[in-house]
Amino acid sequence: MVDIAFSFSAASLATSSGLQNLYDLLIIRGALKSLLLNSRTSARKGMKQHIGIALFAPKSWRLQMPWSAPKGFWCSLSGAMDPAPPSPPRPAAGLRVPGVVAKPAARPELPRETVAFLGLGALGTPMATNLLAAGFPLTVHNRNRQREEPLAALGARRAATPWEAATGSSLLCLCLSDDAAVRAVLLEGPDSASGGLAPGSLVIDFSTIAPASSEELAARLRERGVSYLDAPVTGGTEGAKAGTLSVLVGGSERDLKRARPLLEVVGARVSHFGPVGAGQRVKAVNQVLVAGSYVAVAEALALGQRFGLPMEQVCEALMDGAAGSWALRHRSANMLAGRFPLGFRLALHHKDLQIALEAAAATGLELPLSARVAAIEAELMAAGHGDEDVSALARWFAPQLEPPPLASPFPVPSAEAAAWDQRYREGRDGWELGAPAPPLDTFLRKDPRRPLPPGEVLVPGCGRGHEAALLAELGFEAIGLDLSGEALQEARRLHGADRPGLRWLQANLLDAAALRSAGLADGSLQGVVEHTCFCAIDPSRRFDYLAAVTRLLAPGGWLLGLFWCHTRPGGPPFGSDPHQLDDQLRGAGLVPLLWEPARGSRTERSDEWLGLWQLPAGRD
């Protein structure tokens, strides 16, 4: 039994010589097909006569072409020599062109599917190139249209819009940056891809997004008769170029069977984990592991350098021991050299890690190490390193310049500020968390009930400033307010100093005169986002707190809060029963639009309630 494997890159066909060699290849392939119908002896003899065997061994045949192979081409022939037909043999390594990576396994016969590929970034471009080289008819589209040109030169059809790309395509592949991008390209607007998909089409989503987003997309596409697989990948740009990615699939067995020929072109391992969303959950686990391994390597290298050790030799000695890891083997050299060429962007890993943190919180699980890595990545992104590889985490362990001291716009009583600085140092009131509070984060990013018009929004008791930075990212004019100068210093280092859409203010919310001198006039705010501050203050001062909030809100303004409700034994030494909080908020003149137990709250310590309250537009 003989197995033949032929592969060529699309680049090798871009020249007339490449096309001639392909013609030669087809002739040889036909000759081999007829030869294999003969006996083992005849086949061996025939191959010697017609093709010219350069290397022959009892258990493996290696084929060398009589012509000079073009760049990007390789061929291998392998077969078992036993008289009885064995199980399918492992193909031999074959003749390879230097510098070209290709998988030696024979490809299955490709179905007659037409493919559209949307998203030609660092992963999408090599993945699409491999599909084109494997013979899939391919249409491509990218928001930056220039990225389509190299693939068009190799034979891909360009589409002006996602709708045009999807029209006539039976398989639609997505490789986009985040949930919002996938939703916009696939579902939103007259040019969205879903409008061009015919019933019976299949969407293969290589993007890394939240599991809940994958489930939502699948449900909406199902209404149109379109199937969906979530298939995030891991392996970096190296794996994308070599076609050796690991593909993590969620969806039906039937859809996976249909997609498998395509998936096996881009990946060396295709694993099915269950229904839609399962692939994204496995990717979250992967990104937690990546976070820990990368930061562990960066930290260990910093320690060795402080010891004055020969670190190249140290890494070589440790790679094959218990401390060995992919990150140590493939990224330690760049970390030591201070070079961070792209394998996977740090900013994208930070986004993925936030998905993992949010998904974990929804189960009641905290991930303190991952949260700390996310905070380090946010700091590096603020310093301009988000477009570097994840291995740029090593920068955090290098000597850093402290940001300029935070200037207070008005005098703050030193004793009061010092007390809040001490509170910050003790890590109280959730300041120790390395990410926004998951229920607030989820509501602000994704909840369809969010009727929050843009405008100026205050975050009192902002701590490290994650909620304020998130609001700025979502298009609000965010103001992070805190009495702790140390907390605001950390916020500036993590998210940047004052800039359009985000500023920091050291002040007491109850000091109306100080707020006015800082530009916060009565009735000037569109909204207030509250997390712990209201429940953390002394209950006797809560009326004053709510009075300050309602004074600052414009008519129709809103208060979004995550309120800690001290309703179970072992809860924090502050908080209130949700019914008591409801009465206090109504007593301040606020009307509830949403008041419910928060999903993803830390129920082992306290209950949390998510509330959206509005100040009636008709107030005096």
- Assign residue 588 the CATH number of its domain: 3.40.50.150
Instruction: Please measure the distance between the N-terminal and C-terminal CA atoms of the chain and give it in whole angstroms.
Output: 89
Q: How far apart are CA 302 and CA 399, in angstroms?
A: 10
CA distances for 215 relative to 179, 222, 229, 273, 279, angstroms: 12, 11, 10, 14, 11
Same domain flag for 270 and 296: no
pLDDT of residue 98: 38
Give me the catalytic one of 33, 45, 71, 283. Answer: 283
Q: How far apart are CA 367 and CA 286, in angstroms?
A: 14
Q: Dump pLDDT digits (tens) for 471-520.
A: 888 888 889 888 777 778 777 777 776 667 888 888 888 888 778 877 78
Phi–psi pair at 414, nearest 5 degrees? -60, -40
Same domain flag for 125 and 72: no
- Assign residue 295 the CATH number of its domain: 1.10.1040.10
Q: Dump pLDDT digits (tens) for 428-481.
A: 444 343 345 667 777 777 766 565 777 889 988 887 788 888 888 888 888 988
Q: Dump pLDDT digits (tens) for 380-423.
A: 888 888 888 999 999 998 754 344 344 444 344 455 555 555 55
366, 397, 428: which is the final residue of a domain?
Answer: 397
Range of the domain at 367: 282-397
Same domain flag for 360 and 433: no
* Opening angle at CA 120, ends 118 and 125, nearest 5: 120
Domain count, the chain: 4
pLDDT of residue 422: 56
**Identity at 464, one-letter amino acid code:** R
Examine residue 93 and state whether it is found in any structural domain, yes or no. no
Q: Which residues contact 577 (CB under 8 A, 6 or more apart)?
A: 565, 566, 567
Higher pLDDT, 482 or 538: 482
Same domain flag for 297 and 381: yes
Q: What is the DSSP string of 458-518?
A: EEET-TT-HHHHHHHHTT-EEEEEES-HHHHHHHHHHH-SSBTTEEEEE--TT-HHHHHHT
User: Is 446 tagged catalytic?
Assistant: no
Asked if 134 and 151 count as a contact pair (C-beta separation under 8 A), the reply is no
Same domain flag for 258 and 291: no
Residues forming beta bridges with residue 118, ordered by sequence position: 141, 174
243, 276, 309: which is the final residue of a domain?
Answer: 276
Examine residue 403 and state whether it is found in any structural domain, yes or no. no
Q: Dump pLDDT digits (tens) for 106-130.
A: 444 544 789 999 999 889 999 999 9
Examine residue 576 and state whether it is found in any structural domain, yes or no. yes
The percent of residues above 90 in pLDDT, for the chain, comes to 36
Element (H, E) at 132: helix 124-133
Confidence of residue 257 (pLDDT cuts 50, 70, 90): very high
Sheet bearing 525-531, strands edge to edge: 502-506, 477-482, 456-460, 525-531, 553-565, 607-614, 591-597
Residues forming beta bridges with residue 246, ordered by sequence position: 234, 269
Q: How far apart are CA 600 and CA 523, in angstroms?
A: 33
Examine residue 580 and state whether it is found in any structural domain, yes or no. yes
Examine residue 406 and state whether it is found in any structural domain, yes or no. no
Q: Tokens 């209130």 appear where?
A: 576
Same domain flag for 475 and 510: yes
276, 300, 332: which is the final residue of a domain?
Answer: 276
Same domain flag for 192 and 317: no
Same domain flag for 455 and 555: yes
Examine residue 369 and state whether it is found in any structural domain, yes or no. yes
Examine residue 468 and state whether it is found in any structural domain, yes or no. yes
Asked if 439 and 610 count as a contact pair (C-beta separation under 8 A), the reply is yes
Same domain flag for 266 and 286: no
Decide: residue 547, CB within 10 A, 0-12 exposed, 13-18 middle, 19+ buried: middle
Same domain flag for 264 and 288: no
- Assign residue 244 the CATH number of its domain: 3.40.50.720
Same domain flag for 191 and 231: yes
Examine residue 409 and state whether it is found in any structural domain, yes or no. no
Same domain flag for 456 and 533: yes
Helices (H) and strands (E) in the chain, counts: 22, 20
